[in-house]
Amino acid sequence: MRYISTRDNVIQYSASQAIAQGLARDGGLLTPYYIPKLPGKALEDIQSMAYQQRAVYIMKMFLEEFSVKELTDFANAAYGPDRFDTPAVAPVRTVDGNTHCLELWHGPTCAFKDMALQMLPHLLTASLAKTEEDKTACILVATSGDTGKGALEGFKDVPRTRILVFYPKDGVSEVQELQMLTQEGDNVGVCAVHGNFDDAQTGVKRLFSDEELRRELAGQGYFFSSANSINWGRVLPQVVYYISAYCDLLRDERIAPGQMVNVCVPTGNFGNILAAYYAREMGLPIEQLICASNSNNVLTDFIREGIYDRNRPFHNTMSPSMDILISSNLERLLYTLTQDPAEVKGYMGQLAETGRYQVSDKVRDKLQKRFKGYFCDDTQTQRVIREMFDRHGYLVDTHTAVAFDALSQYRRETGDDTPAIVASTASPFKFCTSVLQALGEADPAHGLDALDQLAAKTGQPAPAPLAGLRSKAVRFSQTVEKERMVDAVRSLLG
């Protein structure tokens, strides 16, 4: 399996080159040359496997240079019982007859980012060895909250890596911030940025393309790498859980072999829903992909109109991991839909220059055939949290609530009640204050006290990694202006 850049499909890369490099030099995203098809009996075979084996089976199809033995070791380490609080790893919970919730937050940081970020360090260090890279990887991460903690936890004390996380000072929840500021490990750094997530992400991209800094670091034995979902090593482990969920539904006889399902995903950077799209391309029977957004509804408009326009107000919402106006992974979808790197390059050039592009009618039609876009605001998000809890006794976080709302809108609008898999992306305990308000608590507690309050109110215990934050010391306090992110890099490596 060869990989190409979304902006140039002549130069080809091996999987390990794609993962080690993170981003193509031309600014494009490294992407498989084609999507392999699941063999005829695959879903039947996978059904009886544990999650770890499912991951090996599927990832192997994209990673020919990696042996089954290697991948098995990675999967056992990444998804073991010391990391995940359920042997199912990514369990499916049936909410009603045709609505199934894929819980992706049973890992060490209680958000779906763990599904990929527990695997990525293994893939990256092995890729560095295969590409004979002898420098230390300096991993720069921009986070809207969950990626940062997931990456810190995945890379902590991994040999030959350093990791530095930038987060928007006022753009993450209190629990999320505390999770990052108490991070342990000798190779980690955390820095707040005055600005929003897009500022942090743009700043990281600028650091990546700063040739002078690159040379300076090379002199010190470092090179830049990425743990954001622009790295193929982040997207691939996410393909696994959609196939896994379908197999669970088959195994439990909730669906029949070959039966179509819809998938609904709360979306920010477009990584998670892109993985579902790739699962479909591999042959998983998925009919519609429902893209759920909060008030930062740039993707809803894009899907409906074929016009991507980030020139609009930025909203800080109670689903902060989706407060994003530049969805990086959309570029991979555009490549697949156009098969034309020059066309993709054109759109991305316009986005960088004017913040806007309009795709051709052909691309728009293809997009609309497969994707449906819906959004909801914070008031509606809280209403859904309350309803889910009252009706089903099921507590969901703010992001997952946005997805359930999108699914209801889709079903109301189309009358299509095909079984749906809703991706549940975070534990409700990561967003206690908003969830408590949703449940009618007018003056909810703050910080870690809110964990106890939510546990008492719902009768559900807070996940151990969050409850354990109380005994951890705060280790980081640096805040920089968005133009001065380079200072944080120098102080981490200096």
Ligand X SMILES: *Cc1c(COP(=O)(O)O)cnc(C)c1O
Instruction: Indicate the pairing of strand 286-293 with strand 261-266.
Output: parallel
Binding site for ligand X (CB under 6 A): 111, 113, 146, 229, 266-272, 321-322, 399, 425-426
CB of 251 to ligand X, least distance (A): 26
Closer by beta carbon to ligand X, 255 or else 450: 450
Write phi, then psi, for 12 (nearest 5 degrees).
-115, 150
Structure letter (DSSP) for residue 319: -
CB of 228 to ligand X, least distance (A): 9
CB of 201 to ligand X, least distance (A): 11
Closer by beta carbon to ligand X, 107 or else 268: 268
CA 399/CA 395 separation, integer angstroms:
12
CA 112/CA 114 separation, integer angstroms:
5
Instruction: Indicate the pairing of strand 3-5 with strand 8-13.
Output: antiparallel
CB of 450 to ligand X, least distance (A): 17
Closer by beta carbon to ligand X, 126 or else 140: 140
Structure letter (DSSP) for residue 102: E
Number of C-beta neighbours around residue 350 at 10 A:
14
Structure letter (DSSP) for residue 409: H
Cα-based distances in Å from 383 to 392, 404, 426, 435, 487 = 14, 11, 18, 10, 43
CA 155/CA 394 separation, integer angstroms:
32
Q: Which token pair is 470?
A: 């109380």
Q: 155 with 139: CB under 8 angstroms?
A: yes
Closer by beta carbon to ligand X, 16 or else 173: 173
Structure letter (DSSP) for residue 335: H
Closer by beta carbon to ligand X, 58 or else 250: 58
CB of 298 to ligand X, least distance (A): 12
Closer by beta carbon to ligand X, 261 or else 318: 318
CB of 328 to ligand X, least distance (A): 8
CA 363/CA 407 separation, integer angstroms:
24
CA 255/CA 277 separation, integer angstroms:
20
Annotated active-site positions, please?
Answer: 113
Closer by beta carbon to ligand X, 167 or else 222: 167
> With helix as H, strand as E and coil as C, how does 261-296 read?
EEEEEECCCCHHHHHHHHHHHCCCCEEEEEEEECCC
CA 60/CA 386 separation, integer angstroms:
42
Q: 311 with 286: CB under 8 angstroms?
A: no
